Amino acid sequence: MSLSLHIVARGKIGRGPEAQLVDRYVQRIGWPVRLTELPENGGKVPPLSAASRIVTLDETGKQLGSVQFARQIGDWQDQGIREIRFLIGAADGLTAEERASADLSIAFGKATWPHLMARAMLAEQLWRASSILANHPYHREG
């Protein structure tokens, strides 16, 4: 079975420009992508299988370049990981439990980003990763 991506985000994105950006990139990603929106507080995160990895988006996470990010996804795919789940918190961030569950925590720089923009930025990086791993020319590599 191939790799699938699952973005689990707190808060409703609505129909604004952020949603349009997310949709634009998700449609281009080379893997199946599932989006789950949870309320700002509470709500149940769908259960994980053993062949899954969790990536949290957190301001204290690692700052990976696009090629490093793509290689991590590719490594997990090569190891037989079936799902990579990305957790995006609400305006107040992630819970301690969510942070502790992470196999990898990443940050999009040191700046604080609105959680709705973080979704769009993640979708773009996932599209870029799928392009890099498919050996499409990448203007920053080399």
**Does residue 75 fall inside a structural domain?**
yes
Higher pLDDT, 49 or 69: 69
**Does residue 140 fall inside a structural domain?**
no
- Write out the chain in H/E/C secondary structure: CCCEEEEEEECCCCCCHHHHHHHHHHCCCCCCEEEEEECCCCCCCCCCCCCEEEEEEEEEEECCCHHHHHHHHHHHHHCCCCEEEEEECECCECCHHHHHCCCEEECCCCCCCCHHHHHHHHHHHHHHHHHHHCCCCCCCCC
**Does residue 142 fall inside a structural domain?**
no
**Does residue 15 fall inside a structural domain?**
yes
**Does residue 67 fall inside a structural domain?**
yes
Q: Which domain holds residue 42?
A: 4-133
Is 140 a residue whose pLDDT tops 70? no
**Does residue 138 fall inside a structural domain?**
no
Mean pLDDT of 29-56: 89
Tens digit of pLDDT for each residue in 77-135? 999 999 999 999 887 888 888 999 999 999 998 888 887 889 999 999 999 999 999 98
**Does residue 27 fall inside a structural domain?**
yes
- State the total domains in the chain: 1
**Does residue 103 fall inside a structural domain?**
yes
Where residue 57 sits, what CATH number does that domain have? 3.40.1280.10
